Amino acid sequence: MAGEGKAYTRDTQYIEDRILDDPDARWPVEPGRYRLVAARACPWANRAIIVRRLLGLEDVISMGLCGPTHDENSWTFDLDPGGLDPVLRIPRLKDAYEARLPGYPRGITVPAIVDERSGEVVTNDFAQITEDFATQWTRHHRAGAPDLWPQELREEMDAVNKRVYTEVNNGVYRCGFAGDQQAYDAAYERLFTALDWLEERLATRRYLVGDAITESDVRLFTTLARFDAVYHGHFKCNRRKLTEMPNLWGYARDLFTTPGFGDTIDFTQIKQHYYLVHRDLNPKGIIPDGPDLSVWAEPHDRARLGGTPFGDGTAPGAIPEAERVPTSANPLVGTDGLVH
């Protein structure tokens, strides 16, 4: 985070090891060996939860979920009995970082991939984690899994992903943590210039790149899902609500009702995280009751633009019961864990 009177700058130095489809790699693809540690509250971790589900990797890569809040030291496993992750047997994600790099000097972030054998973090490079799920674990994808990184679209995806990351995914944080008025004004202008570009782009196409969902859609969706609930008010991204941007709002609802997207969203944890952790922005820790979530169920009419969510593939199936978002946290999720 930036200091007083400065623009917000994200720390992007990660543990960049990769799990590769190579038996001679330091970290080879191996079913049952690795654990995705995530938090439903975090948009960067939410990407990994979505991609894991879309590709059907639930039985190949286990998942541990931290609670929605954390202290200055670490995300914690306070959702689990006894406050311990049931597989790693640790109370704090920091313990896995320290097992890999004693005295780890940077922030403890999710998502992280942990080697279940050693208890060490393999990587916390969130962008590379999901790309590798799609490109290195292909032998273990479910039948009908979508191609989230189509070879013929990668150049266009790279350009779109770069702008979405710098101007939107990170842009909302640049607004929220601006250190002075000048930094905020500049961040606000950049964010809404990018949202205007996306609004125009999505007027004539159903998805960001190509005729089916790709990683690009996953990356944008996790920010849009949090926009009205958190970023509009808490981060002062308030020129317009998402519901007031017709094409982006229709696009977000289209994805929300696509299996693998909305069924991973826990609005309760999202609001708890931002409004309780960021006490510098919300000193009294009051969590707003709104917004009205029923609007996510309104018809989107995006099918008229063509394309199909999974291309030649199929939707993911049922969600493991232990991984379902409770209906109390997302009223559109049924008892089967799916959005209805």
**Active-site residue among 8, 34, 97, 173?**
173
Residue 27: count other Cβ atoms within 10 Å of its Cβ: 19
Q: What angle do CA 182, 189, 290 make, to 5 degrees?
A: 100
Whether residue 49 contacts residue 161, with contact meaning beta carbons closer than 8 Å, is answered with no
Contacts of 183 (CB under 8 A, 6+ apart): 2, 5, 6, 7, 8, 174
What is the C-alpha separation between 314 and 319, in angstroms, rounded?
Answer: 15
- The pairs formed by 96-105 with CB atoms below 8 angstroms and a separation of 24 or more are 96/37, 96/120, 96/121, 97/121, 97/124, 100/15, 101/15
Count of residues in the chain: 340
Q: Is 137 annotated as a binding residue?
A: no
Whether residue 297 contacts residue 331, with contact meaning beta carbons closer than 8 Å, is answered with no
Active site residue 97: no
The β-bridge relationship of strands 34-38 and 62-65 is: parallel
Residue 91 to residues 77, 133, 337, Cα–Cα distance (Å): 6, 26, 27
Helices marked H in the chain — which ranges? 43-55, 94-100, 126-135, 154-163, 171-176, 181-201, 215-226, 246-256, 267-277
Whether residue 115 contacts residue 122, with contact meaning beta carbons closer than 8 Å, is answered with yes
What is the C-alpha separation between 220 and 211, in angstroms, rounded?
Answer: 16
Contacts of 274 (CB under 8 A, 6+ apart): 41, 226, 230, 234, 282
Contacts of 71 (CB under 8 A, 6+ apart): none
Active site residue 42: yes
Best CA proximity match to 227, nearest among 286, 297, 176, 180: 176
**Active-site residue among 42, 66, 175, 237?**
42
Binding site, by residue number, is 75
Residues involved in catalysis: 42, 173
Binding site for glutathione, by residue number, is 75
